[in-house]
Amino acid sequence: MGKKKKTGIIAACILLAVILLMSILAPVLAPYDPNQIDMKNPLAMSSAKHLLGTDNIGRDVLSRVMYGGRQSILLALAATGLSMALGCLIGMAAGYFGGAADLLITSVSNVFQGLPGMTMMIAIAGLMGAGVKSMLLALVLTSWVGFSRLVRGEVMKLKQELFIEGLKGMGAGNFRILFMHIAPNLLSSITIIFATRIAGSIMSVAALSFLGLGLQPPTPDWSVMINDARSYYRTNPLLAVAPGVCIVCLSLSINIIADWLRDRFDVRRDSVNE
């Protein structure tokens, strides 16, 4: 690994740690209550009292930025976790049993793959009404396919392995083979795709909330804050920039780490073969 790459990864890890710590410790660290309105002091510039200034109804921007990641990170984790569980089960069934089950599942997932993700999310949010539940559903429905396709491919490869044949020859049942042998062997590839997907989920949550279809004001959330700041970005650019930088940093650091994870696992696979 090159030195430059290594520094990049370390920087990404530190950045991610800072953002996560900031979000987790927000109740301790934040100087103000994020929803405390101070109508006497709206749109203040940055000062010693309010480091990042205040918004249009006088809430402290720094405090809101600190709180702003909590909801979307949790939501992204939940959505990715759910789609992973769903995708893995479906993919394992398709890959292991093959035949008609595989054909059905593959055609359904092809349809889902063909649907434009964002449009579908907007449609679902529109149908079910904006809110956390519908956003979760929209995210899961659009991203399980990524997992199931990968898992199906891996399972089909694993199925050919001699140790699986051996287990069948020993009389092991499908349940045992699937959950005690195939699932643990999928772990590394699932981890990689999970890490890659989580960045995407964070972006989707942000986009939906920005459009007003996800998290609702007054929740202190980065994308909600950006949405609120639209009218003031000329005079008070910090209002939009601060949460924007946070979103970019978060998804960037996760992406870098996910890439590194993938490289690492690939290398290890090769060295085992040697």
Q: Give min distance, CB of 179 to other proteins, in A.
A: 13
Min separation Cβ 45 and other proteins, Å: 53
Backbone torsions φ then ψ of 54, nearest 5 degrees: -125, 165
Q: Which is nearer to other proteins, 186 or 215 (CB)?
A: 186
Compute the least distance from the CB of residue 269 to other proteins, in Å. 10
Cα–Cα dist 155/182, whole Å: 7
CA distance 216 to 130: 8
Q: Would you say 39 or 170 has its CB closer to other proteins? A: 170
| One-character DSSP codes across 67-114 | HHHHHHHHHHHHHHHHHHHHHHHHHHHHHHH-HHHHHHHHHHHHHHHH
The answer to whether 105 touches 93, Cβ cutoff 8 Å, is yes
- The CA distance from 142 to 83, in Å, is 9
Closest approach of Cβ 163 to other proteins, in Å? 5
Helix ranges, the chain (H): 3-24, 26-29, 61-97, 99-114, 117-128, 132-159, 162-170, 174-176, 183-210, 222-228, 238-273
Q: How far is the CB of 2 from other proteins (least distance, A)?
A: 13
Please give the residue ranges that form the binding site for other proteins (CB under 8 A). 161-163, 165-173, 176, 181, 184-185, 187, 272
For other proteins, give the closer residue by CB, 230 or 268.
268
Residue closer to other proteins (CB basis): 181 or 262: 181
* Minimum CB–partner distance for residue 263 and other proteins (Å): 15
Closest CB to other proteins among 49 and 157?
A: 157
CB-wise, 114 or 175, nearer to other proteins?
175
What is the C-alpha separation between 26 and 70, in angstroms, rounded?
9
